[in-house]
Structure 1
Amino acid sequence: MLIALPISELTPGMFVDSVTKQHEGLNSIKIKTSGLVRNQAIIKRLVTEGVLELLIDFTKGDAAIPDKYKPKKSTASQKPITSSSKTKPPAVKPAITLEQEFAKASISFEQHNRKLQALYGDVTTGLSVNLKVIDEMANDIVSSVFRNTSAMTILTRVKDKHSYNWRHMVNCAIFTAVFAKYLGYKEEAVQQLAMGALLHDLGQAKLPQGIISRPSKLTGSEMDIIKRHVAQGLGLVKGEKGITPLILDMIVNHHERLDGSGYPRGITAEKLSRPARIMAIVDVYDALTADRPHQEGDEPINALRYLLAHKELFDAELVQHFIKCLGVHPVGTIVKLTNERLALVLEGNKLNPIKPKVKLFYNAKHGHHVTPKDLDLNESDQSIKIVSSIKPLDYQINLARLLKEHLLN
Structure 2
Amino acid sequence: MNQANQFLTIAINDLVPGMYVVAVLKQKGRVEIKTEGWVRTEAIIQQLKQKGVLELLVDPSKNLQQADSAPAPVQAVQPAGPGSKKNRVIPYSEELGQAQVLYQQAKGLQKKAFADIQAGRPLMLQPFQDCANGMIESVFRNQDALLCMSRIREKDAYLLEHSVNVSILMTIFAKQMGFEQELIQQLATGALLHDMGKIKVPDHILNKPGRLDPDELKEMRNHVLYSFELLEAVPGLSPVSIDVAAVHHERLDGKGYPLGLKDQQISMYGRMIAIVDTYDAITATRCYKEGQSGITALKIMKKESHSYDQELLSQFIQAIGIHPVGTLVKLKSQKLAIVLRANKTDPLRPVVKVFYHTKFRHYLEVQELDLAQAKVDDEIEAAVMPEDFGIDLMRFFRQSVLQ
- Indicate the TM-score class for this superposition, using the shorter chain for normalisation: 0.7 to 0.9
Aligned to 1:167: 161
Q: How does 1:215-234 map to 2 (within 5 A)?
A: 215-234=209-228
Structure 2 residue 124 is matched with structure 1 residue 121: no
Aligned to 2:350: 356
1:178 to 155, 159, 172: 172
> Does the C-alpha gap of structure 1 residues 296 and 99 become closer, same or farther in structure 2, counting only changes over 3 Å?
same
Deviation, structure 1 residue 198: 0.7
Q: 2:243·2:270 contact (CA, 8 Å) conserved in 1?
A: yes
Q: Which moved more, 1:345-354 or 1:98-107?
A: 345-354
Deviation, structure 1 residue 239: 4.8
State the one-letter code of the partner of 2:399. Answer: E
Aligned to 1:403: 397
State the one-letter code of the partner of 1:168. Answer: H
Note the residue ranges of structure 2 that are not aligned, 5 or more in a row.
1-80
Structure 2 residue 308 is matched with structure 1 residue 328: no
**CA–CA distance in 2 between the matches of 1:302 and 1:323?**
12
State the one-letter code of the partner of 2:367. Answer: K
**CA–CA distance in 2 between the matches of 1:249 and 1:293?**
29
Give the TM-score, by structure 2 length: 0.75
- Cα deviations across residues 71-101 of structure 1 (Å, max 9, x unaligned)? xxxxxxxxxxxxxxxxxx9689564221211
Q: 2:196·2:227 contact (CA, 8 Å) conserved in 1?
A: yes
Aligned to 1:79: none
Percent of aligned pairs sharing the same letter: 36
Q: How does 1:277-292 map to 2 (within 5 A)?
A: 277-292=271-286
Q: How does 1:3-402 map to 2 (within 5 A)?
A: 95-380=89-374, 382-402=376-396
What SS class does the counterpart of residue 157 from structure 2 fall into? helix
Deviation, structure 1 residue 193: 0.7
What SS class does the counterpart of residue 314 from structure 1 fall into? coil
Deviation, structure 1 residue 322: 1.4
CA RMSD, Structure 1 to Structure 2 (Å) = 2.1
Note the residue ranges of structure 1 that are not aligned, 5 or more in a row.
1-88
- The alignment of Structure 1 onto Structure 2 pairs a total of residues equal to 321
State the one-letter code of the partner of 1:274. Answer: M
Q: Which moved more, 1:277-286 or 1:126-135?
A: 126-135
**CA–CA distance in 2 between the matches of 1:296 and 1:90?**
46
State the one-letter code of the partner of 1:307. Answer: M
Give the TM-score, by structure 1 length: 0.74
Deviation, structure 1 residue 251: 1.2
Deviation, structure 1 residue 382: 4.2
> Does the C-alpha gap of structure 1 residues 121 and 216 become closer, same or farther in structure 2, counting only changes over 3 Å?
farther
- Cα deviations across residues 77-126 of structure 1 (Å, max 9, x unaligned)? xxxxxxxxxxxx96895642212111121122122212212211221333
- Cα deviations across residues 223-248 of structure 1 (Å, max 9, x unaligned)? 11112112211111215333111111
Q: Which moved more, 1:234-243 or 1:99-108?
A: 234-243
> Does the C-alpha gap of structure 1 residues 256 and 94 become closer, same or farther in structure 2, counting only changes over 3 Å?
closer
> Does the C-alpha gap of structure 1 residues 179 and 115 become closer, same or farther in structure 2, counting only changes over 3 Å?
same
